Amino acid sequence: MAMLAAACSVRFSMHNILPLIAILFLMAAPWTQAQETEEEHIETDRDSFTPATTTAGAGRLILEAGYSFIDNRGVPETHSFPELIARYGVCDWLELRFGTNYEVGGESNAISGGGSGDFESAEIESEAKVAYGFKAALTEQEGWLPRSAGIVQGNTPTSGAESETHLVATYVWGWLLAEGWVRDSAIRYGDSLAEEDRFDHWAPSTVLKVEVAEQWNAHLEYFGIFTDGREPELSRSYLSPGLHYLVTPNMEVGVRVGWGLGSDAANFFSNVGMGLRF
């Protein structure tokens, strides 16, 4: 922690958007730009499949939790809870993350925001896991240069048939377009295993967020999850609107729904959850 505190006391600059692979080296990256994350209100990663470009803020703790119902095709529905993620800000640009989740039903949950979902659409019956990692701010918005952040997170099963830890790395970037309008996009990478078949997942997403009334925010999002090297390959896409309400500047509640586009995706999903900032 002493090393992290020393690193956080230094501000850096970066003038180019880093490729996704650079996320794997964020801990050692001396060029990472510090970010002012003392937002006027809480901004959670669970709002949408696309995570926020902000971090928790120095000394701040954000707790996020939710419940997802997924109407799968051809197999029983999935129930996913508590989708808990704790985000602690070591400094303005770096947060540590720890979470846990339990899933029961036909297939693993691939639709949750905040990194609690599992890419692989394997039949699970029931599964529990823990997630751990970090999120780092990379750039602030400056002209056409977007505000951006990177997340590196491991998911380790604690019960169920699966026993192997998997990595998920995310790069998210976006712009404040006008007062109350935000456009964010992200790309996620994850490694997967199905029986003896090892392959990769790529998950692009984009979301438009708008303030529709005081303390009320809505969004419309597209996200997809695509395999690379799987036999057979899977291509899952979703269209998802959502609505969120700020109870206080430090407490948010929200709901998302979504529909699958194509036969590989689930028919429908719904998610409800909340976030608290301390």
Report the Cα 192 to chain-centroid distance in Å.
Answer: 17
Q: Are 234 and 264 in contact (CB under 8 A)?
A: yes
Task: Please report, for residues 97, 125, 156, the alpha-carbon distance to residue 130 in angstroms, rounded to integers and kept in the order given.
Answer: 11, 17, 5
Q: Which domains does the chain have, with CATH numbers?
A: 32-277 (2.40.160.40)
Q: Which amino acid is at 76?
A: P
State the CB neighbour count (10 A cutoff) for residue 277.
21
In a structure prediction context, what are the per-residue pLDDT tens digits for the chain, which is 278 residues long? 544 444 454 333 333 333 333 333 333 333 333 333 345 899 999 999 999 999 999 999 999 999 999 999 988 999 999 999 999 999 999 999 999 999 998 788 888 876 555 565 566 678 899 999 999 999 999 989 999 999 999 999 898 777 788 899 999 999 999 888 999 999 999 887 766 778 888 999 999 999 999 899 999 999 999 988 778 888 999 999 999 999 999 999 999 999 999 889 999 999 999 999 99
How far is 278 from 270, CA to CA, in rounded Å? 27
Q: Show the tokens assigned to 119.
A: 């890419």
DSSP assignment, residue 51?
A: P
Please say whether the beta carbons of 223 and 249 come within 8 A.
Answer: no
Measure the CA–CA gap between 113 and 66, rounded to whole angstroms: 10
Q: Which residue has the tokens 């989708």?
A: 83
